Amino acid sequence: MIVVSGVITDLNNEVTVAIDKANKILGLNSSDIVDSFIIKTSVDARHKKAPQLVSSVGFITNKDEEKYVNKINNKNVSYRNLDAGLPKFCFGKQNLKNRPVIVGFGPAGMFAGLILAKNGYRPIIIERGEDVDKRISSVTSFWQTGKLNTQSNVQFGEGGAGTFSDGKLTTRINDPLCDYVLKEFVRLGAPSEILKKAKPHIGTDYLREIVKSIKKEIVSLGGEVLTSSQLTDIIVKNGEIDQIVINGSYIPCSALILAIGHSARDTFEMLMQKSIAIESKPFSIGVRIEHLQSDINFGLYGKYMNHPMLPKGEYQLSLRSSERAVYTFCMCPGGSVVPSCSEQNTVVTNGMSEFARDKKNANSALVVSVSQKDFGLNPKDAINFQRKYEQAAFIAGGENYCAPAQTVGCFLNNKTGLDISRIEPSYSLGVKECNFNNLFPSYISNMMRDGLINFGRKIRNFDANDAVLTGVETRTSSPIRILRGENLESISISGLYPCGEGAGYAGGIMSAAVDGIKVAISVIKKYRPL
């Protein structure tokens, strides 16, 4: 395929206008073109004039495409091998003594399981939380009553933490496998439009059904998915995985993929007790900020905010000062701030949207980067750093899972207060006024203040006095990394494959899914199918 990127059209132009503009660069005759189509489209709303659409256009031709692209020599024209995004397998010769086991059924575990199942390895997948339907019931109960199930919640259960999110499928990794993941999502029930959006998302509602479809396919191919089943120990002999302990039962195991997610603190501690190489890593903490979605739309699009070609306003903002950064993360247009803790007597927030993104408020994390200079090199210290502020938020919220909250005007003026005006906090268990300047250390609250003022210059009303801050947001990424070698096995134990976000090798649904595929490919490269 030949790809022409950066094709600019007006909001009212037909799709054919972008294709025609792209072909003016290529100079192809109609007889040369087998097919032409829009690959991706984004919105450029950076200027005060009308927003524009920026598209990448694909052409499948009967020419020697790579040679033709080289002849044109245009930075916006490239050649793409359509097979590059397909997983490639080289089957190993070593016999597996036992079926491979995957711990965790989030994006990394799901896609590792899918790849292994498709290739005849019949994986056993262990998930500490409940199946999707039971998990939804447990989470809903917590959001309504404050009764927390520490084993099945927003962090634990089928689908992983992403099941209660916006279902974002954007990523900063530039890996051809991303195309494969998107196509698999569509094959398994996602809207086909995610293949053509620059910022695709499927929403929590679609994602829940896709999780069921992935599970069904894995089982149909000879795999198993065991819910309410927690890994509690690993038995090692001669430097290799020999057995694992699940709910008190010993299971023989020679290949173990750890896709445990970023909140499996008890599992992290068990691994440290086994002297498996783990290090602390940087992450970020802060709050959720809520605006009216209409304010964000107007701030980005101005008078064009209601144009049918424009999506709900979405932003990604950052400010760096010396070695620290403040930025927005996991922005949820038309969504809610949701209770997301997994431990008793803590408060954790996250954002969630359905596919339609049709709720009144927009929210995103407003977080500040922290590093080993703040909490030390010991992985336990990184975990305890997160926990410290989650427990502080629990106390500040009244010790009943209400969340501490503060309006932006009060925060900027260092005044305890929640002067609710146009924006009603969406956190379902209720909020209690606080002063985040006192809850966080000054290096975090000062950066949050600088970020709000700077971002308010970029998007009108971002720093509006009645915007609501709800805390705390601590689960932006894993606080630890389980070290692995080039073959993706643990550097400490043969047959142990740290994987995904919890192991410190991903950040979001897409990158976790891609890492799951790569780890599965590594297992396939070592072992022959069962």
Q: How far apart are CA 411 and CA 448, in angstroms?
A: 10
Mean pLDDT of 476-481: 97
Pairing assessment for the beta strands 403-407 and 431-433 based on DSSP bridges: parallel
- According to the model, what pLDDT value does residue 86 have? 86
pLDDT at 388 exceeding the cut of 80: yes
Mean pLDDT of 486-511: 97
On the 0-12 / 13-18 / 19+ scale of CB atoms within 10 A, 186 is middle
Q: What is the pLDDT of residues 348-376, one digit of tens each?
A: 999 999 999 999 999 999 999 999 999 99
Q: Which residue has the tokens 């959720």?
A: 288
Q: How far apart are CA 177 and CA 506, in angstroms?
A: 14
Sheet holding 256-258, edge to edge: 224-226, 124-126, 101-103, 256-258, 496-498
Cβ atoms of 299 and 389 closer than 8 Å: no
**Which residues make beta-bridge pairs with 245?**
233, 250
Determine the 3-state secondary structure of 68 from DSSP: helix
Determine the 3-state secondary structure of 504 from DSSP: coil
Q: What is the pLDDT of residues 129-183, one digit of tens each?
A: 999 999 999 999 999 999 999 999 999 999 999 999 999 999 888 899 999 999 9
pLDDT at 444 exceeding the cut of 90: yes
Cβ atoms of 471 and 403 closer than 8 Å: yes
pLDDT > 90 fraction of the chain, expressed in percent and rounded? 95
Q: What is the DSSP letter of 313?
A: P
- According to the model, what pLDDT value does residue 83 have? 81
**65: nearest Cα among 95, 94, 36, 99:** 36
Name the average pLDDT for the chain. Answer: 96
Q: How far apart are CA 93 and CA 306, in angstroms?
A: 59
> Following DSSP, what letter does each residue of 366-435 receive, concatenated?
EEEEE-HHHH-SSHHHHHHHHHHHHHHHHHHTTSSS-EEEEEHHHHHTT------SS-----TT-EEE--
Q: How far apart are the first and last CA of the chain?
A: 37
Helix axes 265-273, 379-396, angle to 10 degrees: 150
Q: Which residue has the tokens 């450029």?
A: 44
pLDDT band at 522 (very low <50, low <70, confident <90, very high): very high
- According to the model, what pLDDT value does residue 48 have? 67
Q: What is the pLDDT of residues 31-74, one digit of tens each?
A: 999 999 999 999 998 876 889 999 999 999 999 999 999 999 99
- According to the model, what pLDDT value does residue 49 have? 80
Q: What is the pLDDT of residues 417-433, one digit of tens each?
A: 999 999 999 999 999 99
**326: nearest Cα among 229, 469, 495:** 469
* Angle subtended at Cα 395 by Cα 394 and Cα 396, rounded to the nearest 5 degrees: 95
CA distances from 320 to 71, 447, 451 (A): 41, 9, 9
The residues, any chain, with a CB within 8 Å of residue 413's CB and separated by 6 or more, are none
**458: nearest Cα among 296, 322, 266:** 296
Q: What is the pLDDT of residues 269-306, one digit of tens each?
A: 999 999 999 999 999 999 999 999 999 999 999 999 99
